[in-house]
Structure 1
Protein backbone atom coordinates (compact mmCIF):
# COMPACT_ATOMS: atom_id res chain seq x y z
CA UNK A 1 0.00 0.00 0.00
CA UNK A 2 1.29 3.44 -0.91
CA UNK A 3 0.82 6.29 1.58
CA UNK A 4 1.22 9.97 0.72
CA UNK A 5 1.36 12.68 3.36
CA UNK A 6 1.95 15.87 1.42
CA UNK A 7 -0.13 17.18 -1.48
CA UNK A 8 1.27 20.69 -1.83
CA UNK A 9 -1.51 22.39 -3.85
CA UNK A 10 -4.12 21.02 -1.46
CA UNK A 11 -2.18 22.11 1.61
CA UNK A 12 -1.74 25.61 0.20
CA UNK A 13 -5.45 25.83 -0.56
CA UNK A 14 -6.36 24.70 2.95
CA UNK A 15 -3.58 26.44 4.86
CA UNK A 16 -5.99 28.60 6.85
CA UNK A 17 -8.44 25.78 7.64
CA UNK A 18 -8.40 24.03 11.02
CA UNK A 19 -9.10 20.41 10.15
CA UNK A 20 -9.44 17.33 12.32
CA UNK A 21 -6.59 15.38 13.84
CA UNK A 22 -6.78 11.63 13.27
CA UNK A 23 -4.57 8.83 14.53
CA UNK A 24 -4.09 6.30 11.75
CA UNK A 25 -3.61 2.57 12.22
CA UNK A 26 -3.80 1.30 8.66
CA UNK A 27 -2.94 -2.28 7.71
CA UNK A 28 -2.01 -3.30 4.20
CA UNK A 29 -5.29 -5.23 4.03
CA UNK A 30 -8.45 -5.63 6.09
CA UNK A 31 -9.01 -9.22 4.95
CA UNK A 32 -6.39 -11.87 4.18
CA UNK A 33 -7.43 -15.15 2.56
CA UNK A 34 -4.18 -16.23 0.89
CA UNK A 35 -1.54 -17.85 3.11
CA UNK A 36 1.12 -16.56 0.71
CA UNK A 37 0.12 -12.99 1.61
CA UNK A 38 -0.03 -13.40 5.38
CA UNK A 39 2.35 -10.61 6.46
CA UNK A 40 0.63 -7.31 7.20
CA UNK A 41 2.33 -3.93 7.20
CA UNK A 42 0.94 -1.03 9.24
CA UNK A 43 1.10 2.74 9.08
CA UNK A 44 0.83 4.57 12.42
CA UNK A 45 0.75 8.32 11.90
CA UNK A 46 -0.94 11.33 13.49
CA UNK A 47 -2.21 13.48 10.65
CA UNK A 48 -5.14 14.99 8.76
CA UNK A 49 -6.12 12.08 6.50
CA UNK A 50 -8.43 13.88 4.07
CA UNK A 51 -5.96 16.72 3.48
CA UNK A 52 -3.05 14.22 3.56
CA UNK A 53 -1.11 16.39 5.98
CA UNK A 54 0.48 18.00 7.73
CA UNK A 55 1.96 15.23 9.80
CA UNK A 56 2.26 15.69 13.58
CA UNK A 57 5.22 14.03 15.26
CA UNK A 58 4.42 10.94 17.33
CA UNK A 59 6.30 9.78 20.40
CA UNK A 60 6.62 6.07 21.16
CA UNK A 61 3.07 4.76 21.76
CA UNK A 62 2.03 3.62 25.20
CA UNK A 63 0.35 0.53 23.77
CA UNK A 64 0.39 -1.25 20.42
CA UNK A 65 -0.78 -4.80 20.13
CA UNK A 66 -3.29 -7.35 18.90
CA UNK A 67 -6.32 -8.60 20.81
CA UNK A 68 -6.97 -12.32 20.34
CA UNK A 69 -9.30 -14.63 22.27
CA UNK A 70 -9.86 -12.00 24.93
CA UNK A 71 -6.14 -11.40 25.54
CA UNK A 72 -3.81 -8.55 24.65
CA UNK A 73 -0.53 -9.37 22.92
CA UNK A 74 2.09 -6.61 23.04
CA UNK A 75 3.57 -5.62 19.65
CA UNK A 76 5.54 -2.52 20.66
CA UNK A 77 8.78 -4.29 19.71
CA UNK A 78 7.49 -4.56 16.12
CA UNK A 79 7.38 -0.77 15.65
CA UNK A 80 9.94 0.95 13.45
CA UNK A 81 10.25 4.72 13.74
CA UNK A 82 10.31 6.72 10.49
CA UNK A 83 10.69 10.42 9.73
CA UNK A 84 8.91 12.56 7.18
CA UNK A 85 10.91 15.00 5.00
CA UNK A 86 10.09 17.68 7.60
CA UNK A 87 11.40 15.57 10.47
CA UNK A 88 8.04 14.46 11.89
CA UNK A 89 8.11 10.99 13.42
CA UNK A 90 5.67 8.22 12.56
CA UNK A 91 5.84 4.43 12.71
CA UNK A 92 5.62 1.33 10.58
CA UNK A 93 5.03 -2.20 11.83
CA UNK A 94 4.84 -5.74 10.49
CA UNK A 95 2.81 -8.68 11.73
CA UNK A 96 2.51 -12.19 10.32
CA UNK A 97 -0.91 -13.82 10.56
CA UNK A 98 -0.94 -17.47 11.62
CA UNK A 99 -4.42 -18.08 13.04
CA UNK A 100 -7.75 -18.13 11.16
CA UNK A 101 -9.69 -15.60 13.20
CA UNK A 102 -10.42 -11.92 13.60
CA UNK A 103 -7.43 -9.88 14.75
CA UNK A 104 -8.15 -6.64 16.60
CA UNK A 105 -5.09 -4.38 16.39
CA UNK A 106 -5.08 -1.55 18.91
CA UNK A 107 -3.03 1.56 19.64
CA UNK A 108 -2.78 3.97 22.55
CA UNK A 109 -0.50 6.82 21.47
CA UNK A 110 1.39 9.07 23.84
CA UNK A 111 -0.56 12.29 24.56
CA UNK A 112 -0.04 14.93 21.87
CA UNK A 113 0.15 18.57 22.95
CA UNK A 114 -1.74 20.85 20.57
CA UNK A 115 -0.85 24.43 21.57
CA UNK A 116 -3.24 25.99 19.04
CA UNK A 117 -6.15 24.26 20.78
CA UNK A 118 -4.72 24.45 24.30
CA UNK A 119 -5.28 20.77 24.94
CA UNK A 120 -3.69 17.35 24.95
CA UNK A 121 -5.02 14.76 22.50
CA UNK A 122 -5.15 10.99 23.03
CA UNK A 123 -6.76 8.95 20.26
CA UNK A 124 -7.36 5.31 21.21
CA UNK A 125 -7.38 3.58 17.85
CA UNK A 126 -8.24 0.14 16.50
CA UNK A 127 -8.72 -1.80 13.28
CA UNK A 128 -10.01 -5.34 12.75
CA UNK A 129 -8.45 -7.69 10.21
CA UNK A 130 -10.06 -10.92 9.01
CA UNK A 131 -7.43 -13.66 8.81
CA UNK A 132 -8.12 -16.61 6.50
CA UNK A 133 -11.90 -16.15 6.72
CA UNK A 134 -11.92 -17.24 10.36
CA UNK A 135 -14.75 -14.92 11.39
CA UNK A 136 -14.88 -14.94 15.19
CA UNK A 137 -15.23 -11.78 17.27
CA UNK A 138 -15.31 -8.68 15.08
CA UNK A 139 -17.34 -6.73 17.69
CA UNK A 140 -14.99 -7.36 20.63
CA UNK A 141 -13.82 -4.39 22.68
CA UNK A 142 -10.29 -3.55 23.78
CA UNK A 143 -11.49 -1.83 26.95
CA UNK A 144 -10.29 1.67 26.09
CA UNK A 145 -11.75 4.62 28.07
CA UNK A 146 -13.46 5.75 24.85
CA UNK A 147 -14.26 3.18 22.19
CA UNK A 148 -16.56 2.52 19.26
CA UNK A 149 -18.33 -0.83 19.34
CA UNK A 150 -19.10 -1.82 15.74
CA UNK A 151 -22.65 -2.89 14.95
CA UNK A 152 -21.62 -3.80 11.40
CA UNK A 153 -18.81 -6.25 10.69
CA UNK A 154 -15.92 -3.82 10.07
CA UNK A 155 -14.40 -5.59 7.08
CA UNK A 156 -15.71 -7.03 3.83
CA UNK A 157 -17.56 -3.77 3.15
CA UNK A 158 -18.65 -2.50 -0.26
CA UNK A 159 -18.61 1.14 -1.27
CA UNK A 160 -21.91 2.65 -0.16
CA UNK A 161 -22.38 0.28 2.77
CA UNK A 162 -23.71 1.78 5.99
CA UNK A 163 -21.34 1.59 8.95
CA UNK A 164 -22.97 1.68 12.38
CA UNK A 165 -21.48 1.74 15.85
CA UNK A 166 -22.06 2.60 19.49
CA UNK A 167 -19.91 5.22 21.21
CA UNK A 168 -18.90 4.01 24.67
CA UNK A 169 -17.18 5.81 27.54
CA UNK A 170 -16.04 3.54 30.36
CA UNK A 171 -18.18 0.81 28.75
CA UNK A 172 -21.36 2.93 28.87
CA UNK A 173 -23.15 4.27 25.78
CA UNK A 174 -22.75 8.03 25.24
CA UNK A 175 -26.00 9.75 24.19
CA UNK A 176 -25.62 12.28 21.37
CA UNK A 177 -21.85 11.81 21.13
CA UNK A 178 -20.10 13.68 18.33
CA UNK A 179 -18.27 11.63 15.71
CA UNK A 180 -15.89 12.98 13.09
CA UNK A 181 -15.41 11.00 9.87
CA UNK A 182 -12.58 11.32 7.36
CA UNK A 183 -11.46 9.49 4.26
CA UNK A 184 -7.77 8.61 3.91
CA UNK A 185 -7.36 10.58 0.72
CA UNK A 186 -4.30 8.93 -0.80
CA UNK A 187 -5.79 9.06 -4.31
CA UNK A 188 -6.17 12.83 -4.47
CA UNK A 189 -9.92 13.44 -4.22
CA UNK A 190 -10.56 17.14 -4.89
CA UNK A 191 -11.85 19.09 -1.88
CA UNK A 192 -14.43 21.66 -3.06
CA UNK A 193 -14.64 23.51 0.29
CA UNK A 194 -13.48 23.08 3.88
CA UNK A 195 -16.72 21.45 5.20
CA UNK A 196 -15.94 18.47 2.94
CA UNK A 197 -12.72 17.69 4.80
CA UNK A 198 -14.37 16.28 7.92
CA UNK A 199 -17.87 14.86 8.09
CA UNK A 200 -19.53 15.47 11.47
CA UNK A 201 -22.38 13.36 12.80
CA UNK A 202 -24.08 12.88 16.16
CA UNK A 203 -25.11 9.66 17.81
CA UNK A 204 -28.69 9.14 18.94
CA UNK A 205 -29.93 8.87 22.52
CA UNK A 206 -28.50 5.32 22.74
CA UNK A 207 -25.07 6.37 21.48
CA UNK A 208 -25.66 4.76 18.07
CA UNK A 209 -24.48 6.42 14.86
CA UNK A 210 -24.42 5.49 11.18
CA UNK A 211 -22.64 6.69 8.06
CA UNK A 212 -22.73 5.53 4.43
CA UNK A 213 -19.23 5.52 2.95
CA UNK A 214 -19.39 6.90 -0.62
CA UNK A 215 -15.96 5.88 -1.91
CA UNK A 216 -13.63 2.90 -1.85
CA UNK A 217 -10.75 3.16 0.60
CA UNK A 218 -10.05 3.62 4.30
CA UNK A 219 -12.49 5.56 6.49
CA UNK A 220 -11.77 6.74 10.02
CA UNK A 221 -14.47 7.28 12.65
CA UNK A 222 -13.47 9.33 15.70
CA UNK A 223 -15.77 9.67 18.72
CA UNK A 224 -14.53 12.65 20.74
CA UNK A 225 -15.04 13.22 24.47
CA UNK A 226 -13.36 15.59 26.91
CA UNK A 227 -11.60 13.73 29.72
CA UNK A 228 -12.91 14.11 33.27
CA UNK A 229 -9.53 15.25 34.57
CA UNK A 230 -6.94 17.61 33.08
CA UNK A 231 -3.32 16.60 32.58
CA UNK A 232 -0.07 18.53 32.50
CA UNK A 233 1.23 19.85 29.19
CA UNK A 234 4.98 20.01 28.42
CA UNK A 235 5.16 23.31 30.33
CA UNK A 236 3.70 21.70 33.45
CA UNK A 237 0.32 23.44 33.19
CA UNK A 238 -2.94 21.58 33.75
CA UNK A 239 -4.89 21.55 30.48
CA UNK A 240 -7.98 19.81 29.07
CA UNK A 241 -7.59 16.44 27.38
CA UNK A 242 -9.45 15.34 24.25
CA UNK A 243 -10.08 11.59 24.28
CA UNK A 244 -10.89 9.97 20.97
CA UNK A 245 -12.18 6.49 20.29
CA UNK A 246 -11.22 5.66 16.68
CA UNK A 247 -11.95 2.79 14.36
CA UNK A 248 -10.77 2.39 10.77
CA UNK A 249 -12.74 0.45 8.16
CA UNK A 250 -12.14 -0.16 4.48
CA UNK A 251 -14.60 -0.24 1.59
CA UNK A 252 -14.13 -1.69 -1.89
CA UNK A 253 -15.86 -1.13 -5.21
CA UNK A 254 -17.86 -3.90 -6.85
CA UNK A 255 -15.95 -4.83 -10.00
CA UNK A 256 -17.18 -7.21 -12.67
Structure 2
Protein backbone atom coordinates (compact mmCIF):
# COMPACT_ATOMS: atom_id res chain seq x y z
CA UNK A 1 0.00 0.00 0.00
CA UNK A 2 2.84 2.34 0.91
CA UNK A 3 4.57 1.52 -2.39
CA UNK A 4 1.43 2.36 -4.39
CA UNK A 5 1.06 5.62 -2.51
CA UNK A 6 4.69 6.51 -3.21
CA UNK A 7 4.36 5.75 -6.93
CA UNK A 8 1.19 7.84 -7.15
CA UNK A 9 2.92 10.74 -5.41
CA UNK A 10 5.83 10.57 -7.85
CA UNK A 11 3.50 10.54 -10.87
CA UNK A 12 1.61 13.54 -9.53
CA UNK A 13 4.88 15.40 -8.98
CA UNK A 14 6.01 14.68 -12.54
CA UNK A 15 2.71 15.84 -14.00
CA UNK A 16 2.68 18.96 -11.88
CA UNK A 17 6.24 19.79 -12.87
CA UNK A 18 5.36 19.80 -16.57
CA UNK A 19 5.27 23.13 -18.41
CA UNK A 20 1.95 24.96 -18.24
CA UNK A 21 0.20 25.63 -21.52
CA UNK A 22 -0.15 29.28 -22.48
CA UNK A 23 -3.62 30.82 -22.42
CA UNK A 24 -4.73 33.09 -25.26
CA UNK A 25 -7.80 35.17 -25.81
CA UNK A 26 -8.59 34.53 -29.47
CA UNK A 27 -10.32 36.87 -31.92
CA UNK A 28 -10.00 35.34 -35.37
CA UNK A 29 -11.62 36.86 -38.48
CA UNK A 30 -11.99 34.98 -41.74
CA UNK A 31 -9.95 37.71 -43.46
CA UNK A 32 -7.70 40.63 -42.53
CA UNK A 33 -8.85 42.68 -45.51
CA UNK A 34 -12.20 43.54 -47.07
CA UNK A 35 -12.68 44.16 -50.78
CA UNK A 36 -15.51 44.61 -53.24
CA UNK A 37 -15.53 40.83 -53.60
CA UNK A 38 -15.50 40.23 -49.83
CA UNK A 39 -17.48 42.91 -47.96
CA UNK A 40 -18.36 41.13 -44.72
CA UNK A 41 -15.98 39.84 -42.06
CA UNK A 42 -16.92 36.87 -39.89
CA UNK A 43 -15.30 36.69 -36.45
CA UNK A 44 -14.89 33.98 -33.81
CA UNK A 45 -14.13 34.81 -30.16
CA UNK A 46 -12.71 32.05 -27.96
CA UNK A 47 -10.25 31.26 -25.18
CA UNK A 48 -7.76 28.46 -25.65
CA UNK A 49 -4.31 26.98 -26.02
CA UNK A 50 -4.16 27.66 -29.79
CA UNK A 51 -1.24 25.46 -30.82
CA UNK A 52 -2.32 22.41 -28.84
CA UNK A 53 -5.97 22.82 -29.80
CA UNK A 54 -7.23 22.73 -26.21
CA UNK A 55 -10.18 25.00 -25.52
CA UNK A 56 -11.62 26.60 -22.40
CA UNK A 57 -14.99 28.12 -21.64
CA UNK A 58 -15.43 31.74 -22.67
CA UNK A 59 -18.26 33.55 -20.92
CA UNK A 60 -20.00 36.22 -22.93
CA UNK A 61 -17.42 39.04 -22.85
CA UNK A 62 -17.83 42.08 -20.64
CA UNK A 63 -17.32 44.22 -23.75
CA UNK A 64 -16.94 43.74 -27.49
CA UNK A 65 -16.67 46.58 -29.98
CA UNK A 66 -15.07 47.75 -33.19
CA UNK A 67 -13.06 50.97 -33.36
CA UNK A 68 -13.43 52.67 -36.74
CA UNK A 69 -10.27 54.49 -37.75
CA UNK A 70 -9.26 54.41 -34.05
CA UNK A 71 -12.04 56.89 -33.27
CA UNK A 72 -15.70 55.91 -33.45
CA UNK A 73 -16.62 52.83 -31.43
CA UNK A 74 -19.51 50.58 -32.31
CA UNK A 75 -20.83 48.23 -29.63
CA UNK A 76 -21.01 44.70 -31.05
CA UNK A 77 -21.80 42.84 -27.85
CA UNK A 78 -25.51 42.41 -28.72
CA UNK A 79 -24.55 40.79 -32.04
CA UNK A 80 -22.70 37.85 -30.48
CA UNK A 81 -24.12 34.38 -30.92
CA UNK A 82 -22.99 31.34 -28.99
CA UNK A 83 -20.91 28.76 -30.85
CA UNK A 84 -18.29 26.15 -30.02
CA UNK A 85 -14.51 26.08 -30.52
CA UNK A 86 -12.36 23.13 -29.45
CA UNK A 87 -15.34 21.65 -27.63
CA UNK A 88 -16.02 24.73 -25.48
CA UNK A 89 -18.28 27.76 -25.48
CA UNK A 90 -17.19 30.48 -27.87
CA UNK A 91 -18.92 33.35 -29.70
CA UNK A 92 -19.36 34.46 -33.29
CA UNK A 93 -20.58 37.45 -35.24
CA UNK A 94 -20.38 39.17 -38.61
CA UNK A 95 -19.75 42.78 -39.50
CA UNK A 96 -20.12 44.74 -42.76
CA UNK A 97 -18.36 48.13 -42.80
CA UNK A 98 -20.27 51.01 -44.31
CA UNK A 99 -17.16 52.79 -45.58
CA UNK A 100 -13.46 52.22 -46.29
CA UNK A 101 -11.21 52.47 -43.25
CA UNK A 102 -9.39 50.69 -40.48
CA UNK A 103 -11.53 48.44 -38.26
CA UNK A 104 -10.05 47.22 -34.97
CA UNK A 105 -12.15 44.62 -33.17
CA UNK A 106 -11.67 44.30 -29.40
CA UNK A 107 -13.12 42.06 -26.74
CA UNK A 108 -12.62 42.41 -22.99
CA UNK A 109 -13.54 39.17 -21.19
CA UNK A 110 -15.00 38.42 -17.82
CA UNK A 111 -11.86 37.34 -15.88
CA UNK A 112 -11.28 33.60 -16.17
CA UNK A 113 -10.71 31.70 -12.92
CA UNK A 114 -7.61 29.53 -13.32
CA UNK A 115 -7.32 27.21 -10.33
CA UNK A 116 -4.14 25.58 -11.66
CA UNK A 117 -2.34 28.92 -11.29
CA UNK A 118 -4.47 30.24 -8.40
CA UNK A 119 -5.28 33.41 -10.31
CA UNK A 120 -7.69 35.07 -12.70
CA UNK A 121 -6.91 35.85 -16.34
CA UNK A 122 -8.12 38.90 -18.27
CA UNK A 123 -6.91 38.99 -21.86
CA UNK A 124 -7.98 42.13 -23.70
CA UNK A 125 -7.83 40.88 -27.26
CA UNK A 126 -7.83 42.70 -30.59
CA UNK A 127 -7.44 42.17 -34.31
CA UNK A 128 -7.20 44.70 -37.13
CA UNK A 129 -9.07 44.45 -40.45
CA UNK A 130 -8.32 46.78 -43.35
CA UNK A 131 -11.36 47.70 -45.47
CA UNK A 132 -10.78 48.51 -49.14
CA UNK A 133 -7.11 49.40 -48.71
CA UNK A 134 -7.86 52.62 -46.83
CA UNK A 135 -6.50 51.60 -43.41
CA UNK A 136 -4.35 54.32 -41.84
CA UNK A 137 -3.16 54.88 -38.30
CA UNK A 138 -2.76 51.21 -37.47
CA UNK A 139 -0.09 52.12 -34.89
CA UNK A 140 -2.46 54.36 -32.90
CA UNK A 141 -3.24 53.25 -29.31
CA UNK A 142 -6.90 52.70 -28.45
CA UNK A 143 -6.49 53.63 -24.80
CA UNK A 144 -7.24 50.14 -23.48
CA UNK A 145 -6.20 49.12 -19.96
CA UNK A 146 -3.49 47.08 -21.64
CA UNK A 147 -2.79 46.59 -25.35
CA UNK A 148 -0.14 45.85 -27.93
CA UNK A 149 0.38 48.78 -30.28
CA UNK A 150 1.81 47.39 -33.53
CA UNK A 151 5.00 48.77 -35.05
CA UNK A 152 4.61 46.36 -37.95
CA UNK A 153 1.46 46.81 -40.03
CA UNK A 154 -0.90 44.17 -38.53
CA UNK A 155 -2.35 43.04 -41.87
CA UNK A 156 -1.04 42.23 -45.35
CA UNK A 157 2.06 40.38 -44.13
CA UNK A 158 4.09 37.56 -45.65
CA UNK A 159 5.04 34.45 -43.69
CA UNK A 160 8.58 35.02 -42.48
CA UNK A 161 7.99 38.70 -41.77
CA UNK A 162 9.03 40.18 -38.45
CA UNK A 163 6.22 41.44 -36.22
CA UNK A 164 7.08 44.21 -33.79
CA UNK A 165 4.91 45.91 -31.21
CA UNK A 166 4.85 47.93 -27.99
CA UNK A 167 3.20 46.54 -24.86
CA UNK A 168 1.19 49.27 -23.16
CA UNK A 169 -0.30 49.30 -19.67
CA UNK A 170 -2.40 52.25 -18.56
CA UNK A 171 -1.47 54.16 -21.70
CA UNK A 172 2.29 53.86 -21.10
CA UNK A 173 4.92 51.47 -22.47
CA UNK A 174 5.51 48.51 -20.13
CA UNK A 175 9.26 47.77 -20.07
CA UNK A 176 10.57 44.22 -19.94
CA UNK A 177 7.15 42.64 -20.35
CA UNK A 178 7.12 38.92 -21.06
CA UNK A 179 5.42 38.27 -24.40
CA UNK A 180 4.12 34.81 -25.23
CA UNK A 181 3.72 33.93 -28.91
CA UNK A 182 1.74 31.06 -30.32
CA UNK A 183 0.58 29.82 -33.70
CA UNK A 184 -3.09 28.95 -34.24
CA UNK A 185 -2.65 25.34 -35.28
CA UNK A 186 -6.22 25.10 -36.52
CA UNK A 187 -5.87 21.96 -38.62
CA UNK A 188 -3.45 20.29 -36.19
CA UNK A 189 -0.87 19.66 -38.90
CA UNK A 190 1.97 21.38 -37.09
CA UNK A 191 3.81 19.24 -34.55
CA UNK A 192 6.18 20.66 -31.96
CA UNK A 193 9.33 18.56 -31.41
CA UNK A 194 8.90 19.06 -27.65
CA UNK A 195 6.71 21.03 -25.24
CA UNK A 196 9.17 23.91 -25.02
CA UNK A 197 8.52 24.66 -28.69
CA UNK A 198 4.76 25.06 -28.37
CA UNK A 199 4.82 28.56 -26.92
CA UNK A 200 7.53 30.98 -27.99
CA UNK A 201 8.58 33.71 -25.58
CA UNK A 202 10.35 37.05 -25.89
CA UNK A 203 10.99 39.89 -23.46
CA UNK A 204 10.20 43.47 -24.44
CA UNK A 205 12.99 46.00 -24.08
CA UNK A 206 13.11 49.02 -21.79
CA UNK A 207 10.61 50.85 -24.01
CA UNK A 208 8.16 47.95 -24.09
CA UNK A 209 9.12 46.98 -27.66
CA UNK A 210 9.31 43.33 -28.70
CA UNK A 211 10.20 41.63 -31.98
CA UNK A 212 9.35 38.19 -33.36
CA UNK A 213 9.72 36.57 -36.80
CA UNK A 214 6.75 34.37 -37.80
CA UNK A 215 7.95 31.38 -39.86
CA UNK A 216 4.61 29.96 -41.07
CA UNK A 217 1.53 31.26 -42.85
CA UNK A 218 -1.57 31.51 -40.68
CA UNK A 219 -2.67 33.36 -37.56
CA UNK A 220 -0.18 34.27 -34.82
CA UNK A 221 -1.12 35.45 -31.34
CA UNK A 222 1.01 37.78 -29.20
CA UNK A 223 0.22 38.14 -25.49
CA UNK A 224 2.03 40.74 -23.38
CA UNK A 225 1.56 39.60 -19.78
CA UNK A 226 1.57 41.75 -16.65
CA UNK A 227 -0.02 41.56 -13.22
CA UNK A 228 -2.77 44.00 -12.24
CA UNK A 229 -2.05 46.34 -9.34
CA UNK A 230 -5.11 45.09 -7.49
CA UNK A 231 -6.25 41.47 -7.02
CA UNK A 232 -9.55 40.21 -8.39
CA UNK A 233 -11.83 38.34 -5.99
CA UNK A 234 -8.89 37.65 -3.70
CA UNK A 235 -6.54 36.34 -6.36
CA UNK A 236 -3.80 37.75 -8.55
CA UNK A 237 -5.13 39.05 -11.88
CA UNK A 238 -3.09 38.38 -15.01
CA UNK A 239 -3.53 41.22 -17.50
CA UNK A 240 -2.88 40.12 -21.05
CA UNK A 241 -2.55 42.47 -24.00
CA UNK A 242 -3.31 40.24 -26.98
CA UNK A 243 -3.20 40.90 -30.71
CA UNK A 244 -3.68 38.47 -33.60
CA UNK A 245 -1.89 38.88 -36.91
CA UNK A 246 -2.18 36.81 -40.08
CA UNK A 247 0.88 35.86 -42.11
CA UNK A 248 0.20 34.90 -45.74
TM-score, reference length from structure 1: 0.87
The secondary structure found in structure 1 opposite 2:60 is coil
Given that 2:53 and 2:86 are in contact with CA atoms closer than 8 Å, whether structure 1 keeps it comes out as no
Given that 2:58 and 2:90 are in contact with CA atoms closer than 8 Å, whether structure 1 keeps it comes out as yes
Partner residue in 2 for 1:218 = 219
Matches within 5 A, 1:237-256: 238-252=234-248
1:131 matches 2:131? yes
* Aligned length, in residue pairs: 231
Partner residue in 2 for 1:5 = none
In structure 1, C-alpha distance between the alignment counterparts of 2:193 and 2:97, rounded to whole Å: 40
Instruction: Assess, with a 3 A threshold, how the Cα gap between structure 1 residues 210 and 84 changes in structure 2: closer, same or farther.
Output: closer
In structure 1, C-alpha distance between the alignment counterparts of 2:85 and 2:125, rounded to whole Å: 21
Partner residue in 2 for 1:32 = 34
The secondary structure found in structure 1 opposite 2:56 is coil
Partner residue in 1 for 2:108 = 108
How far is the alpha carbon of 1:39 from its aligned partner? 1.1
In structure 2, C-alpha distance between the alignment counterparts of 1:84 and 1:95, rounded to whole Å: 20
How far is the alpha carbon of 1:211 from its aligned partner? 0.4
How far is the alpha carbon of 1:110 from its aligned partner? 0.8
Partner residue in 2 for 1:140 = 140
The secondary structure found in structure 1 opposite 2:216 is coil
TM-score, reference length from structure 2: 0.89
1:47 matches 2:33? no
In structure 2, C-alpha distance between the alignment counterparts of 1:83 and 1:208, rounded to whole Å: 34
How far is the alpha carbon of 1:85 from its aligned partner? 7.8
Partner residue in 2 for 1:181 = 181
In structure 2, C-alpha distance between the alignment counterparts of 1:62 and 1:140, rounded to whole Å: 23
In structure 2, C-alpha distance between the alignment counterparts of 1:135 and 1:89, rounded to whole Å: 32
Instruction: Assess, with a 3 A threshold, how the Cα gap between structure 1 residues 17 and 76 changes in structure 2: closer, same or farther.
Output: same
Q: Which has the larger radius of gyration?
A: 2
In structure 1, C-alpha distance between the alignment counterparts of 2:131 and 2:123, rounded to whole Å: 25
How far is the alpha carbon of 1:142 from its aligned partner? 2.2
Q: Which runs of 5+ in 2 are unaligned?
A: 1-14
Which whole-Å deviations, capped at 9, do the CAs of 1:209-234 have from their partners, x for residues lacking one? 100100000000000000000011xx
Partner residue in 1 for 2:64 = 64
Q: Which runs of 5+ in 1 are unaligned?
A: 1-13, 233-237
Given that 1:106 and 1:142 are in contact with CA atoms closer than 8 Å, whether structure 2 keeps it comes out as no
In structure 1, C-alpha distance between the alignment counterparts of 2:222 and 2:143, rounded to whole Å: 17
Partner residue in 2 for 1:194 = 195
Instruction: Assess, with a 3 A threshold, how the Cα gap between structure 1 residues 85 and 43 changes in structure 2: closer, same or farther.
Output: closer
The secondary structure found in structure 2 opposite 1:190 is coil
In structure 2, C-alpha distance between the alignment counterparts of 1:201 and 1:165, rounded to whole Å: 12
Partner residue in 1 for 2:162 = 162
In structure 2, C-alpha distance between the alignment counterparts of 1:108 and 1:162, rounded to whole Å: 27
Given that 1:38 and 1:98 are in contact with CA atoms closer than 8 Å, whether structure 2 keeps it comes out as no
